[in-house]
Amino acid sequence: MSPRKKTPEKENKEFKVRGYIEGAGEVVEQKIVTTIKDNFMPYAMSVILSRAIPEIDGFKPSHRKLLYTMYKMGLLSGARTKSANIVGATMKLNPHGDSAIYDTMVRLSRGYEALLHPYVDSKGNFGKFYSRDMAWAASRYTEAKLAPICSELFKDIDKDTVDFVDNYDNTMKEPTLLPATFPSVLVNANTGIAVGMASNICSFNLREVCETTAALIRDPDHDIKSTMPAPDFSGGCPIIYDEKAIDNVYQTGRGSIKLRSKYQYDKKENCIDVLSIPSSTTVEAIIERIIELVKSGKVKEISDVRDETGLDGLKITIDLKRGTDPDKLMAKLFRLTPLEDSYACNFNVLIAGVPRVMGIRELLNEWIAFRIECVRRRTYNDLQKKSDKLHLLKGLEAILLDIDKAIKIVRETDEEAEVVPNLMIGFGIDETQAEYVAEIKLRHLNREYILKRTEEISKLEEEIKDLQAILESKARVKTIIVKELKDVAEKYGQPRKSMLLYLNEDDYEEDVEEVPDYPVNIFFTKEGYFKKITPQSWRMGNTHKLKDGDEIIDHIETTNNCELLFFTNKCLVYKAKASDFTETKASAMGDFIPAKLSMEEGESVVKMILTKDYKGVLLFAFENGKVAKVPLSAYETKSNRKKLTGAYSDKFPLAGIAFALEEQEFLLTASSGRMLLLHSASINAKTTRNTQGVAVMKLKKGQRLFSIKPYEEGTFSKPSRYRTRSLPALGAMPSEEDTTEQLSFI
């Protein structure tokens, strides 16, 4: 019996009952432009405008929300409170999790030591900016309050100096900017990574910034470097002064500044104590790099290195071997480790909601314009309040003429609602003044009280006149800003922490390590083992220890300062120096090159080349009969690179590599047995390493080029038989005279 078929109505009913959604799982085509516009662009703009890029007051939204919350909690004065309380309160403004808020507080704290002038006065373990592994304590264990300098951030914030907006749930207001009385955007370092852009502002000395800003207000053409010569970093590491680099940063807002660690030599303990490091690195990264250099044999003067950071601050101790020159060692470490590093500057700041990369002068001018607006708004707010107060006192002054009349009007008025209108009629004052008079307590209806209050009228009139003059004069506003800057500099200014190092050009030259140069024998095996043996050791024992099936394919007499190039089957070339390898004996297995040079799995060495001056040419023979000629100089690099990609073409399988210092003949052998003598001068050299070469040997279907070797005179009785005038050529089969014994080397 066949199964009953379901009706369409029943199928549709069952479809809905099971919870399926019509159209779910269908692939709908949509233009990628539309997707980016509708989904990605709003996210990108949110990150740029509301998260990662600081504004002209020097703060990101997360910083501003945290500091304003602490200000409203009354933490500008008084005792500290638990950090957890601050984090919880900040969540009313910041919709992110408590972990992100606490991380923000840590980075602004005195204990973290990342800022020249910390905004958070902390107590407890807040970690350290120079340590990657030193974790800060949880928020329930630490305490915090606002640092005294924050009073300059919130000065007159209640006088309409900045705009306020609703928070994310419209339950309270928060400031869009903080009316900082000094250019905080340059005083403390700030880093942010947005979408498609980033910001990295280094810190400058507070006193120097204030002096420079004041001078710039008085003279727009002021020489900024005369009062603010260079940045200043909280760690106190010296700055290698490069005038061109500083000028580039000051003018464009982009560039890099070299920082060098500060150290001292302890002669008694024969050790170097590193006391400050660049802010772009960490203690752990430096120690790991030094250990790596010692293990690889590049630095042999160090016996131990350790982190001795404690209550006295950062300290990396490097124990030296006897007879080591500490200054020469540090010069080498500066070159090879992050003990000397560059700080990449990118002065990207949001101005009126638009990200702009600005130089120092432009950035300070923007801050001056912002501060002028703050002072004008504050002045206008004060003017309005004083004008309102004067208006009330004018009404009070009118009552002074006849207090008894005022009392009589109030007493004889039948209804309370008529008191204010009757006072307005009786004294000729407006409703606001009448309301103020009507609210005066009975005890204050005496001549003494009223005289004391009305004495303020002349004082208020003078103050209002002065405030109006300030609003009408831009010069007066600038004078106020300059005075505030001087007050901040005197109150919170500190001596410069980062000293400037003026080095000669010779000091920038890399210290070339003196490699002892002496004769050595280089051996390389088919399986990839490498041996460096001195002539004395070779004479004492010349019986090699090899793996089963392995054999020596290269034996070269050279010196210890030669360079080695190892070409692999993955079209890569690894570069090394003979001095990088330790001396061994013939009875040892030697160094396994794939492991020594950290090659990939399955990667093996095809050819080893030795050179001192990168002279000569390489011939790459491919199985399709083509040969590429590349000068060895194409593999020379100015930097100390260890691996180069694209060492040769990967379009066809490689048959072999041959090297010659000068033009000469090479013997090519095909799988068919045919041989061809090729003079390297007949092929033009190509500077591109991965060139496919030119056709040299004609091959029939199924045949392939087998090998390429330098030709040795006497190998053939009639070598002209194997030569050709034009390429490509078939080559020739070996003649009877050219016996197998003569060709045994092939």
- Phi/psi-derived region of residue 206, left when phi > 0, alpha when psi is between -120 and 50, beta in every other case: alpha
Q: Which amino acid is at 12?
A: N
Q: What are the residues whose beta carbons fall under 8 Å from the beta carbon of 362, sequence distance 6 or more? A: 253
Q: How far is CA 132 from CA 129, 136, 326, 467, in A?
A: 8, 11, 27, 53
Q: Please return the burial class of 595, using the count of CB atoms within 10 Å of its CB with bins 0-12, 13-18 and 19+.
A: exposed
Q: What does 652-713 look like in DSSP terms, one character per residue?
A: S-EEEEEEESS--EEEEEETTS-EEEEEGGGS---SSTT---EE-B---TT--EEEEEE--T
- In 3-state terms, what secondary structure has residue 170? coil
CA dist 376 and 556 (Å) reads: 83
* CA dist., res. 42 & res. 724, Å (int): 70
Q: Rounded to whole angstroms, how far apart are CA atoms 348 and 352?
A: 13
Looking at residue 579, what DSSP letter applies?
Answer: G
Contact 659, 689 (CB under 8 A): no
From the candidates 20, 141, 168, 508, give the one annotated as an active-site residue: 141
The DSSP-derived string for 279-293 is TTS-HHHHHHHHHHH
Amino acid making up residue 404:
D
Residue 13 host element (H or E): helix 8-17
Q: How far apart are the first and last CA of the chain?
A: 81
Q: How far apart are CA 87 and CA 534, in angstroms?
A: 68
Tell me how far the alpha carbon of residue 352 is from its chain's centroid: 25
Annotated catalytic, 380? Answer: no
Do residues 435 and 427 make contact, with C-beta atoms less than 8 angstroms apart? no
Question: With b meaning 16 or more CB within 10 Å and e meaning fewer, what string describes 283-303?
Answer: bebbbebbeebbeeeebebbe
Angle at 132 between CA 129 and CA 137, to 5 degrees: 75
**For residue 182, how many C-alpha atoms fall within 13 Å in the half-sphere facing its CB?**
29
Contact predicate 181/149, CB 8 Å: no
Using CA atoms, how far residue 199 sits from 132, 186, 254, 281, 348, in Å, is: 22, 12, 10, 18, 5
* Structure token pair of residue 188: 């403390």
Q: Are 189 and 345 in contact (CB under 8 A)?
A: no
Whats the size of the chain, residue-wise?
746
Tokens of 635: 């593999």
Residue 672, Cβ density class (10 Å: 0-12 exposed, 13-18 middle, ≥19 buried): middle
Assess contact for 657 and 607: CB atoms under 8 A.
yes
Token pair for 572: 């890569």
Identify the H or E element spanning 82.
strand 81-82
Task: Say what the alpha-carbon torsion angle 61, 62, 63, 68 is, to the nearest 10 degrees.
Answer: 80
Known catalytic residues are 141
